[in-house]
Amino acid sequence: MSLKNQHEDELFRKLLGSSRMKMPFSGLEDEIMAEIEQFDDQKETIRLSYKRGLQFAGVFFMIGLICGLILTTLIPKLEFSIAGLDNSFLLVFYQTVFAITVLLFIEKLYLHWKRLKEL
Amino acid sequence: MPERYIKRILDGDKEAFRFIIGECQDAAYNLSISILKDDMLAKEAIQKAFIRAYEKLHTFKHRSTFKTWFHRIVVNEAFQLSRKSKNNRNSPHNLPANYESSKNEIQKGIDENHMQHYVHQALDVMKPNECLSLRLFYLEEHSIEEIIDITGWSKSNVKVTLHRARKSMKTILSEKFNMKPEELYL
């Protein structure tokens, strides 16, 4: 850096240093803290409602899982056919759909649970 | 240093955020007024910036200093507000008539208050980007790399803006107040 540039930098540093302004609003600190308080209250309300929703989702997921497992054990014991397809084929079809649904729901529940942790 | 309060806030001591507000509010005001040129809008931007900083404090990973991280939030909030309010009241180099000073007045002698006054007037009419770059570089003493981090501009853009800002300030001071920057700091 040349001497001229150094001098110029020093000069601008002094000029700008003298232009430093103080915050003209005296009550700003309290206003911000009040807003933060409000923000935290709202966040807590949202967190609680999210938690409740997630608990409900968990309960219904367990109910669905139990019902699905019962059906899985029941289908081979029942002798029936739909549209010419026997129950062994229907069991495979049902178990595939059931497994995919369970995995998708587990993933969704995990993502919501992670989000709840972040709140 | 605000860093020492961060852990306390993250541990649930909300009141520790008061210290951060106390330590950072003046710098935040200087930066937001550079962009918005309006006290009330600057206040709004600062409030939003502090709330955002509080909300996102857990994401602060100490990769930069807290000052740089917080100034980035302030600058973003101020630019967002500026876009919303379309506040183009002050075009550069367009001083109101009452800002004009007579040569005689200046020659009476420039004391500290005069100097502040002229520098403020010059900064007030400069383009927001130029004013911001001057304040970030000379007032807050951020490096070029930190300014890039705060503003999101490219390195060449920061350098060009700074160069233009210095030139603008010299022009404003010499044209409008009939003085050179050196004369202000005698």
Evaluate whether B142 touches B156 at the Cβ level (below 8 Å).
no
**In this prediction, does ipTM exceed 0.90?**
no
Q: What is the pTM of this model?
A: 0.72
Instruction: Please report the number of interchain residue pairs, chain A to chain B, with beta-carbon separation below 8 angstroms.
Output: 88
pLDDT of the residue at B112 = 62
pLDDT at B96 over 60: no
B79 vs A19, higher pLDDT: B79
**pLDDT 10s digits, A84-112:** 777 788 888 889 999 999 999 999 999 99
Query: Are the Cβ atoms of A19 and B46 closer than 8 angstroms?
Result: no
Report the share of chain B in percent with pLDDT over 70: 80
* Domain range list for chain B: 3-85, 92-183
pLDDT at B44 over 70: yes
pLDDT at A67 over 90: yes
Stretch A14-42: mean pLDDT: 88
Mean pLDDT of chain B: 83
Considering only CB atoms, B166 lies closest to which of A12, A32, A39, namely A12
Stretch B156-171: mean pLDDT: 92
Cα–Cα distance for residue pair A85/A92, rounded to 1 Å = 11
pLDDT of the residue at B100 = 45
Query: Are the Cβ atoms of B138 and A28 closer than 8 angstroms?
Result: no
pLDDT at A21 over 90: no
B-chain residue closest to A30, CA distance? B18
Query: Are the Cβ atoms of B135 and A16 closer than 8 angstroms?
Result: yes
Stretch B88-104: mean pLDDT: 45
- Tell me, what DSSP letter sits at residue A76? G
HSE-CB of A13 using CA atoms within 13 angstroms = 9
pLDDT at A64 over 70: yes
Is residue A1 very low, low, confident or very high in pLDDT (cuts 50, 70, 90)? low
Instruction: Please give, one letter per residue, the 3-state secondary structure of chain B.
Output: CCHHHHHHHHCCCHHHHHHHHHHHHHHHHHHHHHHHCCHHHHHHHHHHHHHHHHHCHHHCCCCCCHHHHHHHHHHHHHHHHHHHHCCCCCCCCCCCHHHCCCHHHHHCCCCHHHHHHHHHHHHHHCCHHHHHHHHHHHHCCCCHHHHHHHHCCCHHHHHHHHHHHHHHHHHHHHHHCCCCHHHHCC
Give A-chain residues touching B33 at CB under 8 angstroms. 21
Instruction: Please give, one letter per residue, the 3-state secondary structure of B91-134.
Output: CCCCCCHHHCCCHHHHHCCCCHHHHHHHHHHHHHHCCHHHHHHH
Considering only CB atoms, A32 lies closest to which of B51, B181, B185, namely B51
Residue of B103, B78, B93, B154 whose CA lies nearest to B127: B93
Query: Are the Cβ atoms of A18 and B14 closer than 8 angstroms?
Result: no
Is residue B154 very low, low, confident or very high in pLDDT (cuts 50, 70, 90)? very high
Cα–Cα distance for residue pair B94/B71, rounded to 1 Å = 28
Give the range among A38-47, A98-107, B103-112 with minimum mean pLDDT.
Answer: B103-112
Is residue A53 very low, low, confident or very high in pLDDT (cuts 50, 70, 90)? very high
Is residue B103 very low, low, confident or very high in pLDDT (cuts 50, 70, 90)? very low
Give B-chain residues touching A36 at CB under 8 angstroms. 14, 17, 50-51, 54
Interface of B with A in 61-100 (CB under 8 A): none
**pLDDT 10s digits, B57-71:** 989 988 889 999 999
Residue of B103, B75, B84, B99 whose CA lies nearest to B161: B75
pLDDT of the residue at B73 = 96
B22 touches chain A (CB under 8 A): yes
Residue entry with tokens 């009241």: B89
Give the range among A9-13, B32-36, B108-112 with minimum mean pLDDT.
Answer: B108-112
pLDDT of the residue at B52 = 94
pLDDT of the residue at B110 = 52
Is residue B182 very low, low, confident or very high in pLDDT (cuts 50, 70, 90)? low
pLDDT of the residue at B153 = 93
Fold adopted by B3-85: Rna Polymerase Sigma Factor; Chain: A (1.10.1740)
pLDDT of the residue at A30 = 92
End-to-end CA, chain A? 50
- Tell me, what DSSP letter sits at residue A81? E
Considering only CB atoms, A15 lies closest to which of B15, B54, B119, namely B119
Interface of A with B in 47-106 (CB under 8 A): none
Query: Are the Cβ atoms of A16 and B139 closer than 8 angstroms?
Result: yes
The CATH classification of domain B92-183, taken from the options 1.10.10.10, 2.70.210.12, 1.10.150.530, 3.40.640.10: 1.10.10.10
Give the range among B4-18, B29-43, B139-153 with minimum mean pLDDT.
Answer: B4-18
